[in-house]
Structure 1
Amino acid sequence: MREEKEYRRQLHHFVTSSTEKGIELIKIGEILSGLRHRRTFLDIGAGGGDLTIPLSGSFRKTTVVEPNARQVAFLRTQRPEFECIHESWEKVALADRRFDFILCSHVLYYISPGKWLPTVAKMHAHLEPGGRLVLVIQSPIGQVAEFFNAFTRYDVPILDVWKSLGEAYGEENLDVRYFLNDIRTKTLEGMVDIGLFLLCDPSLRRRRPEIAAYFQQRHRIPGGYRLVQDEILLSVSKSG
């Protein structure tokens, strides 16, 4: 319970201190404009629905697959019209259901890299012909990647993933977009909280003083702290 509460607090701080969701919505909106149909939307790992809720207005039906029980309960309260499935993507069974748009934003880190391609293949199998799958992941370069490499190991073989997706689904069905997320806090403690959230490893909390020193030395600006996150949006369409 305490672990869950801390995660939710850090997530809220990250969302309210960054420009990510707004920019991500713009990038996704550009992709939605090219969809043949906007009937069904599936969000995998929707969290608190910061992307799900605004995007749902473009579709007749929204389905969420989310492993966190509290987030599912929150979405069911806020949006009772959503179909919310409390399950991990690896275990969920959707039979032969298909969706015009599938979103998977910052979820793949919780899956070992060796399982990324089968995981994406399962998502692609549930696309309607003419539909699109969007994957959003942290770039292996930039300030956040440097921060990761200072305290842990961030090894996402994005070029290998892109090549494999091209071989599997055709280069003509792939699109990549790059954008920057500007994260700002007024306090050092706030930036450390966000750093711990990004690291996705509770064991690193014991290194909080080191993380604080890192941000103090490298990311202090007048009036607070700033961290720029480089992000990649991969879009895969389904022929037909």
Structure 2
Amino acid sequence: MVSPRETVPARGLRLEEDAYRLALGRFLARTDEKTVTHAYLDRVVDTLTHRRVLLDVGPADGTTTRHLAPSFEDTVCIEPSAPMRCVLERTCPDATVLPDPVLAAEPGVAADLALLSHVLYYVPPEQWTATVLRVMEWVAPGGLLLVLLQNPDNACMGMVRHFTGCRFDVRDLARELAAAPPGLVGDVRLDALPARYSSPCLDETLLVADFLLSVPADRTGGAPLPPRGSVEAYVRRHFRTPEGRYVIRHDQDVLRIERPRH
């Protein structure tokens, strides 16, 4: 007999749903991603000549924004998701928060540091370069844009590719930026940051898997979500350790893009 759990589809979570924010919270509580990322960003901030404006594009709940904001005179966020804005405005009450999509936004700033952190999953690939160049228009000469995305070859992205067929690679963007208009894009380099999710609880890990598999439908061609039993079998096979924990490596790539000073 086939159990209901084997045939029930995994739940695709949408940004607007409470379940998405719950799963995101569980993920962040069990990963060292923020600790590693914040230490890296602190080192980047220390190298900046000026710290006038921080621009965070798609900051979600604002955890990283809140960490960085005290180092800057002003903080501006672009967050199109209304539920995320509600959380963001509580997390970062002194930040200016704009609700517009990136390509329609007009923040009117010259940022010394701009972030586009784990946003490009939700942007059609054909718009990646236009989105990044749009953000670069708001970066001050000599300033930096950091584009964060999971490394396409890590264990987490292996699961995403297995079930959705999607691959996200910031190196594709780096190659396209080589043809960017002069004056917007200067030095471009790729950094790597390790990250690991670890939990003793299977049900929590499956909830996190729902979050990690929440790829926009237009990227999957409308393919149906995998059965819950298939996801559970994958998690048990690939992420369960001999000690009975569930560990998902999700190392990040950071594309550092400098705007030329002249």
The separation in 2 between residues aligned to 1:2 and 1:156, in whole angstroms, is 18
Match of 1:145 in 2: 157
Relative CO higher for 1 or 2, CA cutoff 8 Å, sep ≥ 6?
Answer: 2
Please report how far the alpha carbon of residue 206 of structure 1 lies from its aligned counterpart in structure 2 after TM superposition: 5.7
User: Is the CA contact 1:140–1:154 (under 8 Å) kept in the aligned structure 2?
Assistant: no
The structure-2 alpha-carbon separation of the partners of 1:35 and 1:10, relative to structure 1 and needing over 3 Å to count, comes to same
- Name the structure where strand makes up a greater proportion of residues: 1
Partner of 1:238: 259
Residues 136 and 184 in structure 2, CA contact (< 8 A), matched pair in contact too: no
- Which piece of structure 1 moves more, 175-184 or 66-75? 66-75
Partners of 2:51 and 2:72 within 8 A in 1: yes
Tell me the CA shift for residue 199 of structure 1: 1.5
Q: Please, which moves more after superposition, 125-134 or 148-157?
A: 148-157
- Tell me how far 1:183 sits from its aligned partner: 0.4
Could you tell me which residue of structure 1 aligns to residue 239 of structure 2? 219
Farther off after superposition, 202-211 or 2-11: 202-211
Counterpart CA distance in 1 for 2:87 and 2:184 is 38
Equivalent residue of 2:48, what SS? coil
- In the other structure, the counterpart of 1:45 is 58
Asked if structure 1 preserves the Cα contact closer than 8 Å seen for 2:16 and 2:81, the reply is: no
Could you tell me which residue of structure 2 aligns to residue 228 of structure 1?
249
| Corresponding pairs, count | 239
Q: In the TM superposition, what whole-angstrom CA distance separates every residue of 1:187-227 from its partner, at most 9, and x where no partner exists? A: 11111111111122488666222111111112112142111
Counterpart for residue 172 of structure 2: 160
Check whether the contact 1:177–1:234 (CA below 8 A) recurs between aligned residues. Answer: yes
Q: Structure 2: 5+ residue runs without aligned partners? A: 1-13, 218-223
Question: How far off is 1:146 after superposition?
Answer: 1.4
Q: Which residue matches 1:93?
A: 106
Question: CA shift at 1:127, angstroms?
Answer: 0.5
CA distance in 2 between counterparts of 1:42 and 1:172 reads: 19
Q: How many Å separate the matches in 1 of 2:175 and 2:184?
A: 10
- Are positions 1:114 and 2:135 aligned together? no
Moved more, 172-181 or 104-113: 172-181
Shift of 1:155: 2.4
How far off its partner does 1:144 sit? 1.3
Alignment of 1:166-185 (within 5 A): 166-168=178-180, 173-185=187-199
For 2:206, the aligned partner's letter is: V
SS at match of 1:216: helix
* Cα separation, partners in 2 of 1:209 and 1:117, compared to 1, 3 Å: same
**Residue 79 of structure 1 pairs with residue 92 of structure 2:** yes
Q: Percent identity?
A: 26
TM-score by length of 1: 0.92
Offset of residue 142 of structure 1: 1.9
Tell which deviates more after alignment, 149-158 or 167-176: 167-176
Deviations 1:128-168 (A, max 9, x none): 11110000011111211211121012223443321222342
Task: Give the deviation of 1:73 after TM superposition.
Answer: 1.8
Unaligned 5+ runs, structure 1: none
Query: Over residues 219-239 of structure 1, what are the superposed CA-to-partner deviations in whole Å (9 max), with x where a residue is unaligned?
Result: 112142111012100110111
Question: What CA distance in whole angstroms lies between the structure 2 residues aligned with 1:159 and 1:218?
Answer: 26
